[in-house]
């Protein structure tokens, strides 16, 4: 499916550039390929590292920003503004989904919610065409919850030791 997506998004980009008489630069297509090779969410720094390292195709920061802006407009990429960072995600086959975000460590995980997707897809809207949705669920992940529990237990034990002394 990933290779099909790469072919389809490449065709979308090519058609857009031709229709609007923009140059079909190798940088745009290499960035698109790298985006659709990334797993999950990524920062621009991670994308830049992939282009520079794995692809051996360094691009300027301006080219990266401008190209990502174009991909956002074409809805080939979605931008998420999580707590303290901005991350991107290839979205051609994945327009609608949910994320759970830990408010302590910032870890982001995708959540499959078929009932929610079905409900939103069935939602009637007035004078509005739905293209997709993203839902953010904030809370504390199990790792951070365990850390909080350990700290609380340690604090209770220290308090008891001080009281006994």
How does the average pLDDT of the chain come out, rounded?
Answer: 90
The upper half-sphere exposure of residue 13, i.e. CA atoms within 13 Å in the direction of its Cβ, equals 26
Torsion angle defined by CA atoms of residues 124, 130, 132 and 135, in that order, rounded to the nearest 10 degrees = -60
pLDDT computed for residue 139 by the predictor: 94
83: pLDDT confidence band, cut at 50, 70 and 90?
Answer: confident
165: pLDDT confidence band, cut at 50, 70 and 90?
Answer: low
How much of the chain exceeds pLDDT 70, in percent?
97
**Paired sense of beta strands 134-139 and 108-111, if any:** unpaired
Residues 6+ apart with CB under 8 A from 139: 100, 101, 102, 103
Structure tokens at 137: 């669920």
C-beta contacts of 156-163 below 8 A and 24+ residues apart: none
Whole-number Å distance between alpha carbons of 69 and 73: 6
pLDDT tens digits for 13-47? 999 999 999 999 999 999 999 999 998 889 999 99
63 or 4: which leads in pLDDT: 63
């Amino acid at each position: 499916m990933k290779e099909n997506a790469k072919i389809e998004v490449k065709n979308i980009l090519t058609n857009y550039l031709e229709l609007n008489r923009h140059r079909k630069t190798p940088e745009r297509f290499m960035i698109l390929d790298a985006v659709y090779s990334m797993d999950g969410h990524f920062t621009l720094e991670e994308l830049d590292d992939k282009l520079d390292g794995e692809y051996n195709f360094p691009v300027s920061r301006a080219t990266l920003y401008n190209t990502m802006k174009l991909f956002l407009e074409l809805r080939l990429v979605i931008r998420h503004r999580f707590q303290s960072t901005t991350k991107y995600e290839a979205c051609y086959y994945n327009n609608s989904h949910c994320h759970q975000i830990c408010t302590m460590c910032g870890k982001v995980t995708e959540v499959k919610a078929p009932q929610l997707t079905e409900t939103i897809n069935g939602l009637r809207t007035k004078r509005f065409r739905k293209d997709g949705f993203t839902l953010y669920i904030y809370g504390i992940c199990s790792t951070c919850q365990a850390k909080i529990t350990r700290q609380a237990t340690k604090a209770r034990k220290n308090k008891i030791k001080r009281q006994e002394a």
